[in-house]
Structure 1
C-alpha cells in the first residue's frame, strides 16, 4: 500500500506488527517507545522525510500516557506538581527543540546521525540499569514499592481497593520546596529541578520526535528518587504536554502527518500496549532490558557508523 505523505510503499500488516512491538516495549519498560517508532519509520518503512517522521513519532508516544494518566491520578500514583513543572518546562523546550530540528535537522542524513547518538545514550542507560550498582541505589525505591504492593494485595483481599488513595501521594509541603509521602516514605524535591529538566528533555525529545521517557524516567527515579510506582504516571503526564506542544509547532511550521499510516500504527500500538502488561509477567525484566539494549546498540552503530563501515567494507549494517 502506498502512503502518499510518508512517501513509502509498505504492507499495513508490517506496520501493525512493528508498532505492536513498540507498544509492548513501551508498556513493559516505560521508555524507548518513541525511539523504536522512529526506527520503524526510518528503517522498517523506509521514510525519507525527517520533518514528517518527527511529529508522527510523537503522536504514537502520547497514546499510552493519555490512556493511563487518569488511572494514575485516580489511584494517587502521580506527583501532579512535579508533572506540571516538567510540563511547563516541556512547553518551552518543545517549542525551541522543534524549531531547531525543523530548521537544522531537516535532512535525513543529519537527523539519522543525531537519532543514532541518542539511541546509544538510551542503550547505555539500559546496560547501566542491569548492573548491581544501580540496583543497590534503588533500595529506598524498592522498599516503598514493596509496601505499596503489599497494601494493594491486602486491600484487594478485603474488597477495599478504593482505599488505595490513603497510601498514595499526599503532599505536606508545596511551593518551591515540596514534600510528599508515598507508601510510608517521605520524598522531597525543589520545583526548579523538574522545570529545568523539562526544558532540557523537551529540547532533545522534540528535536528527535520522541516522547522523552528515556530521560524523564531516570531523572525522576535516580535524580529525584521517586518510586517507580509514581514515576510512570508523573513522566507520562508531562510527556502529553510537551509532545502535543511539539507536534503543534511542527504542523505550524509546515510538517504534515500521513493519517492513513498513523491509523494503522495506532492499531499496532494499542494491541502492543494491551499485551505488554499481560506478557511481561512471564519475562524477567532484566532479560527484556538486555534484549532491548542489544537491539538499540546495534541500531546506534548502524545509524552513526553504518555509512562509514559500508564505504570502507561494502557491508551494510542497517
Structure 2
C-alpha cells in the first residue's frame, strides 16, 4: 500500500505487526518505545523525511501515557506538582528541542547518527539491567510494586477508598519546596529541580523524536528518591505534556504526519500494549531484554558508524 505523505510503499500488515512489537516491548520493559518506532520508520519502512519521522515516533509513544495517566491518578500514585514542574520545563524544552532539530537535523545524514547515539545509550542501559546486582534490585522493586497494587485492588473491592487516600500521595506542603507522604513515608523535593530536568529531557526527546522515559525514570528514582510506585505515573504525565507540545510544534513548523499510516501503527501499538502484561507471564523479561539489547546495539552501531564501515569494508550494516 502506498502512503504518499510519508513517501513509502509498505504492507499494512507489516505496519501493524511491527507496531504490536513496539507496544509489547514498551509495555513490558517500559523503555525503547520511541527508539523502536524510529527504527521501524527509518529502516523497516524506509521513510526519508527526518522532520516527519520525529513527530510520528512521538505519536506512537503517546499511547501508553494517555491510557496509564488516569489509572495512576485514581490510585493516587502520581505526584502532580512534580509532574507539573516537569511538564512546564518539558513544554519549554519541547519547543526548543523541536525547533533546533527541525532547523539543524532536517536531513537523515545528520539525524541518524544522533538517533544511533541515543539508541546505544538505551542498549547500554539494558546491558546494565542484565547484571546480577541490577536484576536483584529489579526483583525487589517488582515484588514491592505487586504488593502495593494488590493492596489497592483489595481496598477498591472492599469499598475502602478512604484508606486508599491514606496510603497514596498526600501533600502537606506545595510550592517551591514540596513535602508529601506516600504509604506512611515522607518525601521532600524542590520544584526547581524537576523543572530543569523536564527542560533538558524534553530538548533531547523532542530533538530525536522519542518519549524521554529512559531519562525521566532514573532521575525521579535516583536523584529525587521517589519510590518506583509513583515514578511511573509521574513520568508518563510529563511525557504526555512534552510529547504533545513537540508534535504540535513540528506540525506548526511545517512537518506533515501521514495519518493513514499512523492509523495502522496506533492500532498495533494499542494491541501490543494490551498483550505486554498478558504475555509477560509466559516470556521471561531477561530473555526479552537480552534480545532487545543485542538488536539495539547492532542498530546503534549501524546508525552511528554504518557509512564509515561500508566505505572501509564494502559491507553494508544497516
What is the TM-score when the length of structure 1 is the normalising length?
0.93
* SS of match in other structure, 1:281: coil
In the other structure, the counterpart of 2:276 is 276
Is the 8 Å Cα contact of residues 221 and 227 (structure 1) preserved in structure 2? yes
Counterparts of residues 112-191 of structure 1 (less than 5 Å):
112-134=112-134, 145=145, 148-149=148-149, 151-152=151-152, 154-155=154-155, 159-160=158-159, 162=161, 163-191=163-191
In the other structure, the counterpart of 1:236 is 236
Q: How far off its partner does 1:174 sit?
A: 1.9
Distance 1:317 1:161 in 2: 58
Deviations 1:26-61 (A, max 9, x none): 111221101100000000100000001011111111
Counterparts of residues 180-219 of structure 1 (less than 5 Å):
180-219=180-219
Is the 8 Å Cα contact of residues 31 and 217 (structure 1) preserved in structure 2? no
Is the 8 Å Cα contact of residues 201 and 212 (structure 1) preserved in structure 2? yes
Residues 139, 20 of structure 1: CA spacing in aligned structure 2 closer, same or farther, 3 A cutoff?
closer
In the other structure, the counterpart of 2:15 is 15
* SS of match in other structure, 1:273: helix
Which deviates the most, 70-79 or 129-138?
A: 129-138
Distance 1:284 1:42 in 2: 29
Distance 1:42 1:296 in 2: 14
* SS of match in other structure, 1:225: coil
Residues 88, 175 of structure 1: CA spacing in aligned structure 2 closer, same or farther, 3 A cutoff?
same
Distance 2:244 2:29 in 1: 22
In the other structure, the counterpart of 1:246 is 246
Which deviates the most, 279-288 or 201-210?
A: 279-288
1:27 aligns with 2:36: no
Distance 2:153 2:251 in 1: 46
Equivalenced residues, count: 317
Is the 8 Å Cα contact of residues 141 and 225 (structure 1) preserved in structure 2? no
Which deviates the most, 186-195 or 139-148?
A: 139-148
Residues 41, 136 of structure 1: CA spacing in aligned structure 2 closer, same or farther, 3 A cutoff?
same
* SS of match in other structure, 1:59: helix
Distance 1:231 1:78 in 2: 8
Q: How far off its partner does 1:69 sit?
A: 0.7
Q: Which runs of 5+ in 2 are unaligned?
A: none
Is the 8 Å Cα contact of residues 144 and 185 (structure 1) preserved in structure 2? no
* SS of match in other structure, 2:31: coil
Is the 8 Å Cα contact of residues 75 and 152 (structure 2) preserved in structure 1? no
Q: Which runs of 5+ in 1 are unaligned?
A: none
* SS of match in other structure, 2:187: strand
Residues 288, 228 of structure 1: CA spacing in aligned structure 2 closer, same or farther, 3 A cutoff?
farther
Q: What is the CA RMSD across the aligned residues, in angstroms?
A: 2.1
Deviations 1:72-110 (A, max 9, x none): 101101111111010000011001000000000001111
In the other structure, the counterpart of 1:43 is 43
In the other structure, the counterpart of 2:92 is 92
Residues 71, 309 of structure 1: CA spacing in aligned structure 2 closer, same or farther, 3 A cutoff?
same
